[in-house]
């Protein structure tokens, strides 16, 4: 009996020890919130993820068009869940997309440079307006095979927001094509071939460039942004931007960033000319000669924004998604860690005791084989961002004119200094909204010139522009204003002599509609200008009431001769150019006036016509700027433009135009402003929770303020975040 009691106690004691040991081991296991979790069963009811592929295409012409067509058809062949959005404004792209129905859309509403290069940040922003489970950004000539779908399906199951990148292989020859149905790959002789066979052939003759090669990026539609801060205005396909996003995403640590180059078969044909020719209107732009500034500009931007110049994350340190023994695993090459598919905790590759030895050997052999095949260099871009090359166009005024002018050989010209760069961009955005592309910028200083280059604007420098232009004190009546305005008439005369009509518009002129169709109704030997008369009744051509901030001049002999007289008069005047316009063309005291709205200059026989103020109101007419709803009042009256003058000072102009919602892009500014404020509020709260601090390194250099934003991720104790632990 005693022995029985001892045995029973032993059993109870053993059970207690086992329970305690079980609790201890459970506590030692990593929390589910602290790692990537893969669910094999729960997602079956959710269906396959919707995948939207975004790409910026060139026109579908020649060999480039053929390569793009093959690539896009390869995407569509992978799954009916795939839809494609092509960023382009070219008619050939619209024609191509029409053959695929609703699966291929053309999106023209992003920002392009005047040469047609899309802005990377605009592409990313526009992609977010679409509804999808997974977003993919890819080069338009990159061909995809079936493992693209299986990789994204696996990534879709990860229990954390993620960003996936994959480098594209560069091959010199690809003698295969898709059948008419776009389902099967065929050899040159028309025989069908399996996808696996095609992958094996590609693996034998591939060249990989992780640093500068073409890359696809994919991310899930989660709540977290790709990275902290703003995405600067990189030009797409011109270097730096992919590595910049990877670096900022890794530094921000909002999303799990990993490299899927080994699990996604993507490739493109070797292109011997990385700088492909651009097309503007009906003119060709030669590649190497004209386009190097785009790469230099991206290097400048990459150095100015974010932390890439100071804290560069090496591409080789990215966690790799591999497929070994038909199972997906994550591999950290820096720490030598492996995370197998369906296994919840990480293990050190060389010290694992849980896996069977044969399983571990197979994983080790797989990784060793990959490492021996693909040696990834450390992709440092710091040298590229310290380029000594100046940020200069290869365009002169003479070479820009044929690219920019419309079919009537007309140019819309703005002459602007750096202090007015905000109003310049508001003016540019408004013209783009009206589909007006024949505008040019004359930069009064180097800062404006470089700013315009980075914004992709057609800009040229005036070599004779005055120096020491005041940043805040260059408004009407100042000596600075007098010097600056004389540049405008001189540049207009130069362009007229080159054979082009000119519509001169100050950047503080808000355009409601395109005025050119109306202005074209005035024939040769007419110069039409805005009237500065503020009285609602009486003549509008009284002395000194010709506004030289908005006028249209044709390139005929009478106009050129008259403009020469204006420029000569202004050069010897102690006033601005505006009095020179009136005194020369309408006579001192208005001696050449004819009726209430025109003048006739007797020597050149040029007629000066003062535009109807209901259509072209100045800043004092009818107190339009004081209306509760300025836009509604102007539209009701039929205004084509509204001049933000009769107010002194740049800041007051900005305040007035901003307060009435006429400063910015398009018609729905208030909605965008509210969304921005809401987003900023959410971002501030998000940063507060995460402990993100922002430090601003502000250096003042004459008129420039350079702001660099560096983020530091604080401690996350007590916060439930799902991370992939690497130790």
DSSP-assigned states of every residue in 321-389: EEEETTEEEEEETTTTEEEETT--S-EEGGG--SS-HHHHHHHHHHHHHHHHH--PPP---TTGGG---
pLDDT of residue 549: 93
Sign of CA dihedral 572, 576, 579, 582: positive
Parallel/antiparallel/unpaired status of strands 278-280 and 283-285? antiparallel
133: its two tokens: 């489970």
Parallel/antiparallel/unpaired status of strands 327-332 and 337-340? antiparallel
pLDDT of residue 38: 40
| High-pLDDT (> 70) share of the chain, % | 69
397: its two tokens: 């005024």
pLDDT of residue 196: 74
The secondary structure element, H or E, covering residue 566 is helix 557-571
Q: Over the stretch 424-451, which tens digit does the pLDDT of each residue have?
A: 999 999 999 999 999 999 999 889 999 9
Q: How sure is the predictor about 384, in pLDDT bands with cuts at 50, 70 and 90?
A: low
Q: Is residue 528 part of a domain?
A: yes
The residues with which 510 forms a beta bridge, in sequence order, are 642
Nearest of 345, 305, 313, 377 to residue 708 by alpha carbon: 305
Domain count, the chain: 3
Q: What is the mean pLDDT of the chain?
A: 78
Q: How sure is the predictor about 643, in pLDDT bands with cuts at 50, 70 and 90?
A: very high
Q: Is residue 338 part of a domain?
A: no
Residue 415 belongs to domain with CATH number = 3.90.550.10
148, pLDDT greater than 90: yes
Q: Residue range 12-40: average pLDDT?
A: 50
Nearest of 105, 56, 61, 69 to residue 85 by alpha carbon: 105
Please tell me whether residues 304 and 181 are part of one structural domain. Answer: yes
| Final residue belonging to a domain, choices 644, 659, 674 | 659
Please tell me whether residues 265 and 406 are part of one structural domain. Answer: no
Q: Is residue 378 part of a domain?
A: no
- Provide the Cα torsion 229, 230, 232, 237; round to 10°: 90
Block residue for tokens 């009726």: 595
pLDDT of residue 419: 86
Parallel/antiparallel/unpaired status of strands 192-193 and 185-186? antiparallel
Please tell me whether residues 70 and 158 are part of one structural domain. Answer: yes
691, pLDDT greater than 60: no
Q: Is residue 621 part of a domain?
A: yes
Q: Residue range 161-172: average pLDDT?
A: 88
pLDDT of residue 500: 98
pLDDT of residue 317: 78
In three-state secondary structure terms, 235 is strand
Residue 219 belongs to domain with CATH number = 3.90.550
Q: Over the stretch 387-425, which tens digit does the pLDDT of each residue have?
A: 556 677 778 899 999 999 999 999 999 999 888 899 999
Q: How sure is the predictor about 272, in pLDDT bands with cuts at 50, 70 and 90?
A: low
287, pLDDT greater than 90: no
| High-pLDDT (> 90) share of the chain, % | 47
In three-state secondary structure terms, 407 is coil
349, pLDDT greater than 80: no
Greatest Cα pair distance, the chain, in angstroms, is 136
**Residue 267 and residue 171 in contact, taking contact as beta carbons nearer than 8 Å:** yes
325 or 233: which carries more pLDDT confidence?
233
Q: Residue range 143-161: average pLDDT?
A: 92
Please tell me whether residues 19 and 108 are part of one structural domain. Answer: no
| Final residue belonging to a domain, choices 659, 680, 707 | 659
Q: Is residue 381 part of a domain?
A: no
Q: Residue range 257-275: average pLDDT?
A: 78
320: its two tokens: 């790799």
Please tell me whether residues 158 and 53 are part of one structural domain. Answer: yes
348, pLDDT greater than 70: no
DSSP 697: E
Lowest mean pLDDT segment, chosen from 102-106, 196-200, 352-356: 352-356
| Final residue belonging to a domain, choices 659, 685, 705 | 659
Block residue for tokens 């990189």: 234
Please tell me whether residues 311 and 431 are part of one structural domain. Answer: no
pLDDT of residue 55: 97
CA 721-131-318 angle, 5° bins: 45
Instruction: Please tell me which of 197-201, 342-346, 604-608 the model is most confident about, judged by mean pLDDT.
Output: 604-608
Residue 184 to residue 338: CA distance in whole angstroms: 36
pLDDT of residue 300: 85
Q: Residue range 295-306: average pLDDT?
A: 86
719, pLDDT greater than 60: no
Please tell me whether residues 638 and 580 are part of one structural domain. Answer: yes
pLDDT of residue 704: 36
Please tell me whether residues 269 and 234 are part of one structural domain. Answer: yes
In three-state secondary structure terms, 709 is strand
329 phi, psi to nearest 5 deg: -140, 150
DSSP 537: S
Parallel/antiparallel/unpaired status of strands 266-269 and 143-144? antiparallel
Please tell me whether residues 183 and 246 are part of one structural domain. Answer: yes
Q: Over the stretch 658-678, which tens digit does the pLDDT of each residue have?
A: 776 776 644 344 444 444 334
Please tell me whether residues 54 and 6 are part of one structural domain. Answer: no
Lowest mean pLDDT segment, chosen from 327-336, 406-415, 705-714: 705-714
Q: Is residue 52 part of a domain?
A: yes
Residue 725 to residue 717: CA distance in whole angstroms: 15
507, pLDDT greater than 70: yes
Q: Over the stretch 46-68, which tens digit does the pLDDT of each residue have?
A: 568 999 999 999 999 998 999 99
Q: Over the stretch 520-567, which tens digit does the pLDDT of each residue have?
A: 999 999 999 999 999 999 999 999 899 999 999 999 999 999 999 999
Nearest of 268, 167, 152, 150 to residue 216 by alpha carbon: 167
Length of the chain: 727
Q: How sure is the predictor about 721, in pLDDT bands with cuts at 50, 70 and 90?
A: very low
Please tell me whether residues 19 and 81 are part of one structural domain. Answer: no
pLDDT of residue 449: 92
Q: How sure is the predictor about 119, in pLDDT bands with cuts at 50, 70 and 90?
A: very high
Q: Residue range 110-130: average pLDDT?
A: 94
362, pLDDT greater than 80: no
Q: Is residue 435 part of a domain?
A: yes
77 or 578: which carries more pLDDT confidence?
77
pLDDT of residue 388: 54
679, pLDDT greater than 90: no
The residues with which 443 forms a beta bridge, in sequence order, are 416, 461
Q: How sure is the predictor about 509, in pLDDT bands with cuts at 50, 70 and 90?
A: very high
Enumerate residues 6+ apart whose C-beta is below 8 A from 639.
512, 614, 615, 616, 617, 624
pLDDT of residue 661: 72
115, pLDDT greater than 50: yes
Q: Residue range 476-495: average pLDDT?
A: 76
The residues with which 84 forms a beta bridge, in sequence order, are 53, 104
Its domain, for residue 484, covers 397-659
Q: Residue range 582-595: average pLDDT?
A: 95
Q: How sure is the predictor about 683, in pLDDT bands with cuts at 50, 70 and 90?
A: very low
680 or 149: which carries more pLDDT confidence?
149
281: left (phi over 0), alpha (psi -120 to 50) or beta: left
672: its two tokens: 């965008």
Q: Is residue 325 part of a domain?
A: no
Enumerate residues 6+ apart whose C-beta is below 8 A from 340.
327, 329, 363
**Residue 498 and residue 398 in contact, taking contact as beta carbons nearer than 8 Å:** yes
Please tell me whether residues 6 and 132 are part of one structural domain. Answer: no
Q: Residue range 483-507: average pLDDT?
A: 92
pLDDT of residue 467: 63
**Residue 543 and residue 590 in contact, taking contact as beta carbons nearer than 8 Å:** yes
722, pLDDT greater than 80: no
**Residue 114 and residue 31 in contact, taking contact as beta carbons nearer than 8 Å:** no
534: its two tokens: 């503020």
């Amino acid at each position: 009996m005693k022995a029985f009691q001892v045995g029973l106690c032993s059993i109870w004691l053993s059970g207690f020890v086992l329970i305690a040991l079980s609790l201890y081991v459970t506590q030692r296991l990593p929390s589910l919130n602290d790692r990537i979790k893969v669910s094999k069963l729960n997602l079956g009811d959710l269906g396959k993820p919707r995948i939207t592929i975004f790409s910026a295409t060139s026109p579908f012409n020649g060999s480039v068009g053929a390569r793009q067509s093959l690539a896009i058809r390869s995407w569509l062949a992978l799954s009916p869940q795939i839809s494609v959005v092509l960023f382009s404004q070219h008619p050939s792209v619209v024609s191509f997309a029409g053959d695929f129905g609703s699966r291929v859309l053309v999106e023209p509403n992003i920002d392009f440079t005047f040469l047609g290069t899309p802005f990377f940040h605009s592409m990313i922003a526009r992609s977010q307006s679409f509804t999808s489970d997974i977003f993919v950004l890819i080069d338009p000539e990159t061909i995809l095979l079936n493992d693209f779908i299986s990789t994204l399906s696996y990534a879709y199951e990860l229990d954390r927001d993620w960003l996936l990148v994959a480098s594209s292989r560069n091959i010199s020859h690809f003698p295969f094509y898709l059948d008419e149905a776009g389902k099967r790959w065929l050899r040159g002789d028309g025989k069908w071939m399996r996808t696996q066979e095609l992958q094996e052939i590609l693996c034998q003759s591939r060249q990989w460039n992780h640093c500068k090669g073409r890359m696809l990026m994919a991310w899930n539609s989660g709540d977290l942004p790709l990275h902290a801060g703003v995405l600067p205005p990189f030009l797409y396909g011109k270097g730096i931007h992919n590595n910049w996003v990877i670096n900022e995403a890794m530094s921000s640590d909002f999303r799990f960033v990993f490299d899927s180059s080994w699990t996604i078969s993507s490739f493109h044909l070797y292109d011997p000319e990385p700088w492909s020719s651009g097309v503007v209107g009906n003119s060709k732009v030669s590649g190497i000669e004209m386009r190097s500034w785009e790469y230099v500009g991206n290097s400048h931007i990459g150095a100015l924004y974010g932390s890439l110049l100071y804290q560069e994350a090496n591409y080789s340190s990215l966690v790799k998604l591999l497929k070994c023994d038909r199972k997906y695993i994550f591999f950290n090459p820096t720490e030598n860690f492996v995370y197998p598919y369906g296994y919840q905790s990480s293990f050190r590759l060389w010290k694992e005791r849980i896996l069977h030895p044969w399983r571990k050997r197979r994983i080790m052999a797989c990784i060793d084989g990959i490492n021996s095949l693909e040696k990834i260099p450390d992709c440092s871009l710091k040298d590229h961002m310290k380029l000594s090359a100046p940020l200069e166009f290869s365009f002169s005024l003479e070479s820009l004119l044929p690219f920019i002018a419309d079919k009537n050989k007309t140019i819309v010209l703005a002459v602007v200094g750096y202090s007015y760069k905000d109003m310049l961009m508001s003016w540019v955005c408004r013209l783009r909204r009206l589909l007006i592309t024949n505008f040019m910028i004359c930069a009064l200083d180097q800062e404006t010139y470089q700013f315009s280059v980075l914004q992709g604007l057609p800009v040229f420098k005036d070599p004779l522009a005055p120096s020491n232009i005041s940043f805040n004190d260059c408004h009407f009546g100042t000596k600075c204003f007098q010097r600056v305005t004389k540049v405008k008439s001189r540049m207009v005369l130069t362009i007229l002599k080159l054979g082009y009509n000119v519509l001169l518009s100050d950047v503080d002129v808000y355009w409601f509609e395109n005025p050119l169709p109306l202005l074209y109704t005035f024939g040769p030997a007419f110069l039409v200008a805005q009237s500065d008369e503020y009285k609602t009744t009486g003549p509008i051509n009284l002395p000194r009431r010709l506004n030289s901030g908005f006028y249209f001049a044709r390139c005929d002999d009478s106009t050129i001769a008259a403009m020469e007289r204006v420029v000569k008069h202004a050069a010897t005047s102690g006033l601005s150019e505006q009095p020179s316009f009136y005194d020369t063309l309408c006579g001192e005291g208005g001696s050449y006036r004819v009726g209430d709205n025109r003048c006739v200059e007797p020597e050149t026989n040029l007629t000066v016509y003062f535009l109807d103020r209901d259509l072209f109101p100045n800043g004092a007419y009818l107190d339009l700027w004081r209306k509760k709803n300025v836009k509604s009042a102007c539209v009701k009256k039929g205004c084509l433009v509204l001049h933000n003058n009769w107010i002194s000072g740049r800041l007051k102009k900005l305040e007035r135009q901003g307060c009435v919602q006429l400063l910015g892009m398009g018609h729905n500014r208030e909605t965008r402003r509210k969304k921005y404020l809401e987003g900023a509020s959410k971002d501030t709260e998000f940063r507060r929770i995460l402990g993100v601090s922002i430090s601003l390194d502000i250096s003042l250099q004459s008129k420039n303020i350079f702001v660099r934003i560096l983020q530091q991720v604080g401690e996350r104790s007590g916060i439930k975040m799902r991370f992939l632990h690497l130790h």
